[in-house]
Protein backbone atom coordinates (compact mmCIF):
# COMPACT_ATOMS: atom_id res chain seq x y z
CA UNK A 1 0.00 0.00 0.00
CA UNK A 2 1.20 3.54 -0.65
CA UNK A 3 0.92 6.56 1.60
CA UNK A 4 -1.49 8.03 -0.94
CA UNK A 5 -3.77 5.01 -0.51
CA UNK A 6 -3.68 5.46 3.28
CA UNK A 7 -5.11 8.98 3.18
CA UNK A 8 -8.74 7.96 2.53
CA UNK A 9 -8.43 5.01 4.94
CA UNK A 10 -7.57 7.42 7.76
CA UNK A 11 -9.66 10.36 6.51
CA UNK A 12 -6.33 12.17 6.79
CA UNK A 13 -5.02 15.40 5.42
CA UNK A 14 -1.47 15.95 4.21
CA UNK A 15 0.47 18.51 6.26
CA UNK A 16 3.71 18.09 4.31
CA UNK A 17 5.31 15.75 1.81
CA UNK A 18 2.76 15.92 -1.02
CA UNK A 19 5.51 14.91 -3.45
CA UNK A 20 6.30 11.68 -1.56
CA UNK A 21 2.86 10.08 -1.32
CA UNK A 22 3.68 7.17 -3.64
CA UNK A 23 6.10 5.58 -1.18
CA UNK A 24 5.19 2.06 -0.08
CA UNK A 25 4.29 1.24 3.52
CA UNK A 26 4.06 -2.29 4.92
CA UNK A 27 3.65 -2.01 8.68
CA UNK A 28 2.43 0.44 11.30
CA UNK A 29 3.24 1.35 14.88
CA UNK A 30 0.93 3.35 17.12
CA UNK A 31 2.62 4.84 20.17
CA UNK A 32 3.30 7.99 22.14
CA UNK A 33 6.38 6.37 23.68
CA UNK A 34 9.29 6.85 21.31
CA UNK A 35 11.30 4.22 23.24
CA UNK A 36 8.69 1.64 22.20
CA UNK A 37 8.89 2.84 18.62
CA UNK A 38 12.66 2.40 18.71
CA UNK A 39 12.24 -1.16 20.00
CA UNK A 40 9.59 -2.44 17.61
CA UNK A 41 9.64 -0.56 14.30
CA UNK A 42 10.70 -2.23 11.07
CA UNK A 43 11.22 -1.11 7.48
CA UNK A 44 8.50 0.85 5.64
CA UNK A 45 6.55 1.59 8.81
CA UNK A 46 3.98 4.31 9.41
CA UNK A 47 4.16 5.89 12.86
CA UNK A 48 0.82 6.92 14.39
CA UNK A 49 1.12 9.16 17.44
CA UNK A 50 -0.50 11.98 19.36
CA UNK A 51 2.86 13.27 20.54
CA UNK A 52 3.68 16.53 18.79
CA UNK A 53 7.29 17.30 19.61
CA UNK A 54 10.62 17.19 17.84
CA UNK A 55 11.44 13.77 19.35
CA UNK A 56 8.92 12.23 16.96
CA UNK A 57 10.85 13.50 13.94
CA UNK A 58 14.21 12.48 15.46
CA UNK A 59 12.85 8.97 16.04
CA UNK A 60 11.43 8.83 12.52
CA UNK A 61 14.79 9.91 11.12
CA UNK A 62 16.70 7.28 13.11
CA UNK A 63 14.41 4.47 11.91
CA UNK A 64 13.99 5.69 8.34
CA UNK A 65 10.24 6.15 8.84
CA UNK A 66 8.79 7.92 5.81
CA UNK A 67 5.33 8.75 7.18
CA UNK A 68 4.12 10.07 10.53
CA UNK A 69 0.40 10.33 11.25
CA UNK A 70 -0.69 12.65 14.05
CA UNK A 71 -3.87 11.30 15.64
CA UNK A 72 -6.70 12.87 17.65
CA UNK A 73 -6.74 16.01 15.53
CA UNK A 74 -3.27 17.01 16.72
CA UNK A 75 -1.29 19.28 14.44
CA UNK A 76 2.43 19.78 15.04
CA UNK A 77 4.04 23.20 15.10
CA UNK A 78 5.52 24.75 11.98
CA UNK A 79 8.97 24.04 13.45
CA UNK A 80 8.23 20.30 13.50
CA UNK A 81 6.75 20.40 10.01
CA UNK A 82 9.86 22.19 8.75
CA UNK A 83 12.00 19.46 10.32
CA UNK A 84 9.86 16.85 8.55
CA UNK A 85 10.30 18.66 5.23
CA UNK A 86 14.07 18.74 5.69
CA UNK A 87 14.09 15.02 6.50
CA UNK A 88 11.74 14.10 3.64
CA UNK A 89 9.06 12.72 5.97
CA UNK A 90 5.40 12.79 4.96
CA UNK A 91 3.19 14.13 7.75
CA UNK A 92 -0.52 13.36 7.90
CA UNK A 93 -3.17 14.35 10.43
CA UNK A 94 -6.35 12.48 11.29
CA UNK A 95 -9.18 13.11 13.72
CA UNK A 96 -9.23 9.41 14.64
CA UNK A 97 -7.69 8.19 17.89
CA UNK A 98 -4.46 6.23 17.66
CA UNK A 99 -6.37 3.03 18.43
CA UNK A 100 -8.95 3.62 15.71
CA UNK A 101 -6.31 4.68 13.17
CA UNK A 102 -4.37 1.48 13.84
CA UNK A 103 -7.56 -0.57 13.46
CA UNK A 104 -8.47 1.10 10.18
CA UNK A 105 -4.99 0.45 8.83
CA UNK A 106 -5.12 -3.17 9.98
CA UNK A 107 -8.42 -3.73 8.16
CA UNK A 108 -6.84 -2.13 5.07
CA UNK A 109 -4.00 -4.69 5.16
CA UNK A 110 -1.26 -2.89 7.09
CA UNK A 111 0.08 -5.05 9.90
CA UNK A 112 2.34 -4.49 12.89
CA UNK A 113 5.51 -6.40 13.59
CA UNK A 114 6.24 -8.43 16.69
CA UNK A 115 9.95 -7.72 17.06
CA UNK A 116 10.51 -10.49 19.62
CA UNK A 117 9.32 -13.26 17.34
CA UNK A 118 9.80 -11.59 13.98
CA UNK A 119 6.23 -12.54 13.07
CA UNK A 120 3.70 -10.14 11.63
CA UNK A 121 0.84 -9.40 13.98
Number of domains in the chain: 1
Residue 118 inside a domain? The answer is no
Q: What is the pLDDT of residue 44?
A: 82
- CATH number of the domain encompassing residue 10: 3.40.1390.20
- Percent helix, strand and coil across the chain, each rounded to 5? 40, 25, 40
Residues of the chain with pLDDT under 50: 117-121
Residue 119 inside a domain? The answer is no
Residue 82, domain extent: 3-107
Q: What is the pLDDT of residue 118?
A: 46
Q: What is the pLDDT of residue 86?
A: 96
Residue 112 inside a domain? The answer is no
Residue 38 inside a domain? The answer is yes
Q: What is the pLDDT of residue 43?
A: 73
Give 113's strand partners.
120
Q: For strand 113-114 and strand 119-120, is the pairing parallel, antiparallel, or unpaired?
A: antiparallel
Q: What is the pLDDT of residue 9?
A: 98
Residue 9 inside a domain? The answer is yes
Alpha-carbon span 3 to 77, nearest angstrom: 22
Amino acid sequence: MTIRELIPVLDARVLCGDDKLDQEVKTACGSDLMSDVLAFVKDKTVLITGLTNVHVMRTAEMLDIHCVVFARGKVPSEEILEEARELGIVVLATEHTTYTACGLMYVAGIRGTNERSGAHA
